[in-house]
Structure 1
Amino acid sequence: MNPGSIALIALAVGLVIGVGLSAIIAWARRSRVTNSEATSAEVPHGAAEVLDGMDDAACVVDASGLVLATSPAAARYGIAVGAGLENGEFRELVRVVRASGIATTETVRLSRSAVSLDPRLVSARASVLGGRLVLLILRDITEQERLEQVRRDFVANTSHELKTPVGAVILLAEAIESAADDPDQVRDFAARISAEAIRLGQLTRRIMSLSRLQASDGVTETEPVSIDEVVAASIEAHAVQAESAGVELIRGGDRRAFVRGDAQTLIEAVGNLIANAIAYSPAGSRVGAGVKIDGETVEIAISDQGIGIDEADRERIFERFYRADDARSRRTGGTGLGLSIVKHATQRHGGEVRLWSRPGRGSTFTIVLPRIDGPAGQDEKKAKKKNKKKKHARKGSATAEDARVGNGENA
């Protein structure tokens, strides 16, 4: 073998050995870094910045249960850097995930003692971050769960309420068919079918109104609304009901108050209060509608001299389909949705509903709404119209006086 071949072989062997040593050194370095990360109790680079930008509550917990880093929202749950997790369910979730290495999500209900908030429902997700650290993310799903429960209750209650009039109509229709030869019974059954149909229509309309108000686009188009016109329209719509019940409707208070909103929605809300007041008032009593301008708000109070509301019922009186006096509500055609519509309509207009009541003395429901200035020129137009009427009245009086003088009445 010549010297050139030996040199080439030596060079190749040296190259292979060099590459192998480089690979071994690189592998050793990677192993050392990986082992260091797996056993490190330090928050990975960049994790703190990510936590700072999170809206949800989140924290990084080490093997001893100590919190190393948090997001700003974590303070709402009593989680702070340098302290342990106070909630036992959170600690157990972190322990299980660290042992299994598998990310896990659980729903946890927090009581007042756990956090400085009202009882909340939280979705907690824990995942491994490195070898010894666990990332815990908390998402408040209380409102989401409440809306889902509201939806289930609404469907169940609506189905139950609709069954009664629908079932009655079916039974009465069958009764009419079997009593076809008795005109008196047919007329009686037909009248009862008509009453049930009216009740069914009223219930359907109110369900649709409530659904519209509870939707995100409940009140989309707003404009200045005259409270004078709202109250007047509400009273006029229930004048016949009041006359039939022997109840006097009276109106008083401030005038020329304006709010921003939807006139028809407010008329329906005030009308529901007036209808309830009439239904629960004895004959010969009064139902009053009063308006008060109080700084930046307008108060519309509907008062009656009826049976009043027990204290136990006041907390639930605005719930859908809730009736303080179920038997009386059914006799008067009540749907249990009127006050719920009032509540949601008022909230949609940025206001609130207040209740005062004493059993045997009556009740007062007060709608409080943000007040706005009237449309430009509105008061001026009304003043001009009023002055014009006065001038016309004076002119008419003068003409009548001249006529009397001409006829010799003052001679």
Structure 2
Amino acid sequence: MDSTQLALLGLIVGALIGGAAVGLVVFALRSRDRTRRVTSVEIPDGTDAVLQGMDDAAVVVDASMLVLSASAAAEVFGLRVGGTLASDSLKLLVRGVRTTGVAATETMQLSRGVEPRLVASRASVITPRLTLIVIRDITERERVEQMRRDFVANTSHELKTPVGAVTLLAEAIDSAADDPDQVRHFAGRLTAEALRLGQLTSRIMNLSRLQSADDIAEMRDVAVDEVVTAAIESQGITAEASGITIARGGERGLVVRGDRQILTEAIGNLLANAVAYSPSGAQVGIGVREADDTVEIAVADHGIGIHEDDQQRIFERFYRADQARSRRTGGTGLGLSIVKHAVQRHGGTVELWSRPGRGSTFTIRLPLVRGAEPSAAPKRKSKKSMKAAGARASAKRGAL
């Protein structure tokens, strides 16, 4: 082998050795990078900015459950950078995700301060040592959904009662066709059940309208005196039949902005409730006063009162503190819910004070309109026609 061949062979061997060395170096660097990715707890670039832009609570934790980055909303759940996950449910979720490598979502309860909240927590793996947790508060959503389910169930139940009664009474009238007295008796009961069904349907529609997103169409300056007078007159026949006096007091000449008919119905509902739950011979009071740019309209009775456990739910649809008495007096269980939503749509609030055996006071607060001229009220009917209308209406109205 001559010198030229030897030189060429040397170059080939050198190239092979050099290539192997380069390959080893590249392999070593890649191995190092893989090791760093597996063991690193460095947060990927941009993670903090993404978390700070989120409305939901979100955190990045390492394998020891240490919080490395957190959104602003995470603070309300006690999750902050440098702290550790305190919730066993969250820890269990993270461990499961780290084991499977597949993102997962679970519904659980977390504390927001001292308040328990229902949340949907989703965990997903970012790196072998880092896990992202996103926490969405679904408490309100679930509450609304439960109210919707209750509303559908209660509406179905409430409608079945008068519909069933109407069917049975119609059959009874047919069977008693040869007995005029029985026919009149059953016809009277049939009319009462039909009126009850109509009242329930009307109140469901009114409540639905008040809960809709549409603005109230007939907003104008309304004299509180006219609203209170109309509400008292709407319950006058019922109160007189029960031996109950409605006394009015307080300031005059105050004006609010709203729909006269809706406000009259709301106050009338409170008066109907007060009359229904007061003993015969008692007095129901309604007072009006100005306080801090608001008009307060209070309806007070000395009736049976409402237990403290029921006071938190009394404005819910179909909720009755006294089921037997409410059904006996023809109540729909929607009156106070209508009051609450009617007042809220007018930018006001309604509050309750009550003690069992001492009575109840419902106070409506509405924004006061100063220096306004209330719109003209509808022409008042004659006393005779009002009595006739009241007598017809008394059969339709029941307590709440």
Cross-structure match for 1:84: 84
Shift of 1:26: 7.3
Any idea what the Cα deviations from partners look like across 1:80-115, whole Å, max 9, x if unmatched?
1112111111111111111211001001112xxx44
The answer on 1:144 being equivalent to 2:148 is no
Partner AA of 1:241 in structure 2: T
Q: Which residue among 166, 169, 172 is the counterpart of 1:169?
A: 166
Cross-structure match for 1:257: 254
Cross-structure match for 1:104: 104
Any idea what the Cα deviations from partners look like across 1:221-242, whole Å, max 9, x if unmatched?
6433322222122122222222
Cross-structure match for 1:215: 212
Cross-structure match for 1:329: 326
d(CA) in 2 for partners of 1:312 and 1:356? 13
Shift of 1:312: 4.3
SS of 1:63 mapped into structure 2? coil
Partner AA of 1:50 in structure 2: V
Tell whether the 8 Å contact from 1:224 to 1:374 is kept in structure 2 after alignment. Answer: no
Cross-structure match for 2:228: 231
TM-score after normalising by structure 1: 0.80
d(CA) in 2 for partners of 1:20 and 1:210? 82
d(CA) in 2 for partners of 1:364 and 1:89? 45
TM-score after normalising by structure 2: 0.82
Partner AA of 2:177 in structure 1: A
User: Unaligned 5+ residue runs, structure 2?
Assistant: 1-14, 377-400
Any idea what the Cα deviations from partners look like across 1:116-167, whole Å, max 9, x if unmatched?
0421001100001022110011000001111110001111111111111111
Shift of 1:170: 0.5
How many percent of aligned residue pairs carry the same amino acid? 62
d(CA) in 1 for partners of 2:253 and 2:30? 80
Partner AA of 1:36 in structure 2: R
d(CA) in 1 for partners of 2:284 and 2:188? 30
Task: Provide the alpha-carbon RMSD of the alignment.
Answer: 3.1
Tell whether the 8 Å contact from 1:212 to 1:218 is kept in structure 2 after alignment. Answer: no
Cross-structure match for 1:403: none
d(CA) in 2 for partners of 1:239 and 1:204? 24
Matched pairs, number: 367
Any idea what the Cα deviations from partners look like across 1:324-357, whole Å, max 9, x if unmatched?
3323222221111111221222233333222233
Distance of aligned partners of 1:218 and 1:320 in 2 relative to their CA distance in 1, 3 Å threshold: farther
Partner AA of 2:286 in structure 1: A
d(CA) in 2 for partners of 1:309 and 1:342? 17
Out of 24-33 and 290-299, give the one that drifted further.
24-33
d(CA) in 1 for partners of 2:235 and 2:344? 24
Out of 164-173 and 358-367, give the one that drifted further.
358-367
d(CA) in 2 for partners of 1:120 and 1:102? 26
d(CA) in 1 for partners of 2:19 and 2:204? 79
Shift of 1:39: 2.9
Distance of aligned partners of 1:307 and 1:92 in 2 relative to their CA distance in 1, 3 Å threshold: closer
